[in-house]
Amino acid sequence: MKARVEELRRLIRHHNRLYYVLDQPEISDAEYDGFFDELVRLEQEHPELATPDSPTQRVGAPPLEKFGTLGHRVPMLSLGKTNTEEGFLDFHRRIRELSQVPDEQVAYVVEPKFDGLAVELIYENGVLVQGSTRGDGYTGEQVTENLRTIKTIPLRLLETDLGIPTLMEVRGEVIINKSDFQRLNRRRAEAGESPFANPRNAAAGSVRQLDSKITASRPLSMFAYSVGVVEGRQYKTHYQIMEDLKILGFRVNKYTQLCHRAEKAIEYYGQMLQRRDRLDYEMDGIVIKVNDLGLQERLGELQRSPRWAIAWKFPAQQETTVVRDIWVNVGRTGALTPVAILEPVRVGGVTISRATLHNEDEVRRKDVRVGDTVIVQRAGEVIPEVVAVVKSKRKGRPRKFVMPTHCPICGAPAVRVAGEVATRCTGLSCPAQLKENVFHFAGKWAMDMDGLGYKLIEQLVDRGMITDPSDLYYLTKEDLLKLERMGDKLAQNVLEAVQGSKRPSLPRLILALGIRNVGGHLATVLAREFGTVERLREASCEELMAVREIGPVVADSIRAFFNNDKNLEVLNKLRWAGVEFPVYQKAAGAQPLASQTFVLTGGLSTLTREQAKALIEKAGGRVASSVSANTDVVVVGENPGSKLDKARALGIKTMGEEEFKKLVEV
């Protein structure tokens, strides 16, 4: 029993790391849940086997009255900042002068500057015993129970060749991903709670909850970026620390890089600035740290920040401007969205002239009126939004915004269903909804019909040439030539883009259907879990909700979509037009076995040892000749040797030939 409990913990830790830290899950959510449920059951039946570092212990403890405080053995300093390249070059010059090393010899580690909440975790003999916030840098709040609920924080360090450090203080930033933040705020708005202003506030607010069950319900994550006191481990460079943190089970940012020259750090800044909008977490700049720990020590500290590191900030993502007008947009699902028309302003390097106000409640809560000075922000690819009104600048008494009672596009009544925040147009053939739907269908992340812009779709809808997205495939060149500003060449390009989109991947096809609440990520999850559109269509609410990321709201929207005859007709029309409905394929070149160590024992009947080895390596894994605590899987063929006994003794996963072949997909 004890052995099974330990094996389950090992498996869960291993798969947690693959899923949350490396982002390369290897087993289905259902299999994972199977392990987890079994462990919960065994621990309940045998309370003597429960330990505080078990992966089941992330659910939250009873609420506290108030937080205790905890002193940091090594102060958690802040960083000197610059906004310019000159500022960084000044820093570099100072380092060279103080260290008296020639240019070539100052190596830096460059990494993103995360915008979240700094925390410290203390591990004694590999077990997480305490966690705290940065606080004033010297004393923080003790939030151990809350940090324990975060899946990217190991409750116990992974065993390594170097053993386990006796004491290790790990520092990092707790964040919420942009997409999770949007979802969290949507849920809060639906529940009538006030939304968080930005992911950083959401992360900080979630960590500083007296009831850790609330923290457990928030999608928090942590990037590790430095250490405090460490005993039982020696490091020479910051880069070594980061590598070791990875091995010990922490999430270390993949853009952490070693730069041997200052110019490389400047290049890195430019690359990260470009990448900023595409990443799902917020960065407000980069951090440049001297790599050599000896040199760091010689350089020492100023008042509140070290001389050996600097934050080079990105341009602000928030600015103030004036609201010229408030319009109402009608979206794909018929939702009426108030939009602020702005005095154009540059935010984070891009000019914006409109920003979403989300819905009626949000306009009321923020009390945005025409003529107001407002703070607007851009966060990634998310549409710019109005964050708040600068009330002190309001002139006179502008009128309050009222939501129209009718759709501004088709004139049908607009209603707000009880319990929902959105006001929706009830017009069954509302052209605004259709345009948005078709635009979504043809979009880059869906069927990817390059060149099918909004203007063109607008004309097609307004002239009645399409009444649903599948009609795009039935357009002829003659049809297109009837449109404004349409020449032979352009018409040909449009036709090719449409016809060229007939072999989508399954996630793209599912996304393109425009099922309410199903965005890119869920489309991929659904594709992976159900394999075909047909299977998804047949799935019951219960089957849908058995998928970890799918709750009742999404399950209902999927059922509602497939219960609608009009949608089924569109699916048929797509098929008739020759659109392929594929079976889910894992991405080519994926490395599902990355960083896993395999050992082969016994003979396989359909593969030579060399072939098996090549397959493992192709999938990113490694093959070792003997079984040790570092082995992840032992593949067992006929007449296995003592390796199998050793694997069993160590509780290491074993698999037969068939399972192995499935894993490497032959």
- How are beta strands 633-636 and 597-601 bridged, if at all? parallel
Distance CA 489, CA 476 (A): 13
- Element holding 604 (H helix, E strand): none
**Is residue 111 involved in binding ligand IVH (CB under 6 A)?**
yes
- Dump the DSSP string for 632-659: -EEEE-BS--HHHHHHHHHT-EEE-HHH
Rounded to whole angstroms, the Cα distance separating 34 from 28 reads 10
- Give the nearest distance from C-beta 12 to ligand IVH in angstroms: 29
Residue 152 or 359: the one with the smaller Cβ distance to ligand IVH is 152
Query: Residue of minimal CB distance from ligand IVH?
Result: 118
Q: Could you give the angle at the alpha carbon of 279 between the alpha carbons of 278 and 280, nearest 5°?
A: 120
3-state secondary structure of 222: strand
| 660 touches ligand IVH (CB under 6 A) | no
- With a CB cutoff of 8 Å and minimum separation 6, the contacts of 171 are 76, 118, 119, 120, 121, 224, 225, 226, 227, 228
**Coil/strand/helix, residue 410:** coil
Minimum CB distance to ligand IVH, residue 511 (Å): 33
3-state class (DSSP) for residue 430: coil
Residue 79 in contact with ligand IVH, rule: CB under 6 A: yes
In the complex, least distance from residue 204 CB atom to ligand IVH, rounded to whole angstroms: 10
Among 118, 326, 526, 633, binds ligand IVH (CB under 6 A): 118
Cβ–Cβ < 8 Å for 286, 112: yes
Kindly write out the interface string for residues 296-335 of this chain, putting x where it contacts ligand IVH by CB under 6 A and - elsewhere: ----------x--x-x------------------------
Q: Which is nearer to ligand IVH, 203 or 558 (CB)?
A: 203
**How near is the Cβ of 75 to ligand IVH at its closest, in Å?**
9
Hey, what are 74's tokens?
């090594």
Find where tokens 């097609």 sit: 460
Three-state DSSP at 623 gives strand
To ligand IVH, the closest distance from the beta carbon of 149 in angstroms equals 20
Burial class (CB in 10 A: 0-12, 13-18, 19+), 505: middle
Cα 599 versus chain centre, distance: 33
For ligand IVH, what does the binding mask look like between residues 272 and 291, x meaning CB under 6 A? ---------------x----
Two tokens, residue 391: 């009330």
Q: Compute how many residues bind ligand IVH; rule: CB under 6 A.
A: 15
Distance of CA 559 to the CA centre of its chain: 26
CB of 287 to ligand IVH, least distance (A): 4
Q: Does 225 bind ligand IVH (CB under 6 A)?
A: yes
Q: By CB under 6 A, what part of segment 472-501 binds ligand IVH? A: none
Q: Which is nearer to ligand IVH, 308 or 561 (CB)?
A: 308
Which of 72-80, 101-109, 414-422, 596-604 is the region at the interface with ligand IVH (rule: CB under 6 A)? 72-80
CA distance 111 to 171: 14
Binding mask 620-649 for ligand IVH (x = CB under 6 A): ------------------------------
- Which strands form 653-655's sheet, in the order they lie side by side? 622-624, 597-601, 633-636, 653-655
The distance of closest approach from Cβ of residue 314 to ligand IVH in the complex, given in angstroms and rounded to an integer, is: 12
Among 177, 226, 337, 437, binds ligand IVH (CB under 6 A): 226
- Backbone region of residue 155 per phi and psi (left: phi > 0; alpha: psi in -120 to 50; beta: other values): alpha
- Shortest approach of ligand IVH to residue 183 CB, angstroms? 24
Nearer to ligand IVH, 226 or 597 (CB): 226
* Angle ∠(46,48,49) on CA atoms, nearest 5: 75
When asked if residue 114 is in the footprint of ligand IVH (CB under 6 A), the reply is yes
Q: Does 173 bind ligand IVH (CB under 6 A)?
A: yes
Q: Does 113 bind ligand IVH (CB under 6 A)?
A: yes
Q: Which of 113-121, 257-265, 382-390, 501-509 is the region at the interface with ligand IVH (rule: CB under 6 A)?
A: 113-121
The answer to the question of residue 109 lying near ligand IVH (CB under 6 A) is: no
Instruction: Write down the least CB distance from residue 178 to ligand IVH, Å.
Output: 16
Instruction: Look up residue 120 and give its two tokens.
Output: 């410290």
Q: CA-to-CA distance for 505 and 75, rounded, in angstroms?
A: 51
Q: Which of 113, 151, 313, 643 is the catalytic position?
A: 113
Gap between the Cα atoms of 54 and 36, Å rounded: 11
Say how far apart CA 596 and CA 593 lie, in whole Å: 6
Query: Does residue 139 touch ligand IVH according to CB under 6 A?
Result: no
Question: Which of the ranges 75-83, 94-102, 141-149, 601-609 carries the binding residues for ligand IVH, by CB under 6 A?
Answer: 75-83
Helix (H, G, I), strand (E, B) or coil at 488: helix
Spatial distance between the Cα atoms of 130 and 217, rounded to a whole number of angstroms? 20
- Tell me how far apart the alpha carbons of residues 665 and 661 are, in angstroms, rounded to a whole number: 6
Burial class (CB in 10 A: 0-12, 13-18, 19+), 130: middle
Look up 646 and say whether it is catalytic: no
Instruction: Give yes or no for residue 145 binding ligand IVH (CB under 6 A).
Output: no
Is 95 an interacting residue with respect to ligand IVH (CB under 6 A)? no
Among 51, 57, 78, 654, binds ligand IVH (CB under 6 A): 78
The yes or no reply on residue 175 touching ligand IVH (CB under 6 A) is no
By beta-carbon proximity to ligand IVH, the closer residue of 120 and 436 is: 120
To ligand IVH, the closest distance from the beta carbon of 244 in angstroms equals 16
Neighbour count for residue 629 (Cβ, 10 Å): 11
Query: Quick check: 269 binds ligand IVH (CB under 6 A)?
Result: no
170 part of the interface to ligand IVH, by CB under 6 A: no
134 binds ligand IVH (CB under 6 A): yes
| Residue 77 binds to ligand IVH (criterion: CB under 6 A) | yes
Nearer to ligand IVH, 78 or 493 (CB): 78
Listed residue (332, 329, 331) closest to 468, CA to CA:
332
**Residues annotated as catalytic (active site), given as ranges:** 113
Binding site for ligand IVH (CB under 6 A): 77-79, 111, 113-114, 118, 134, 173, 225-226, 287, 306, 309, 311
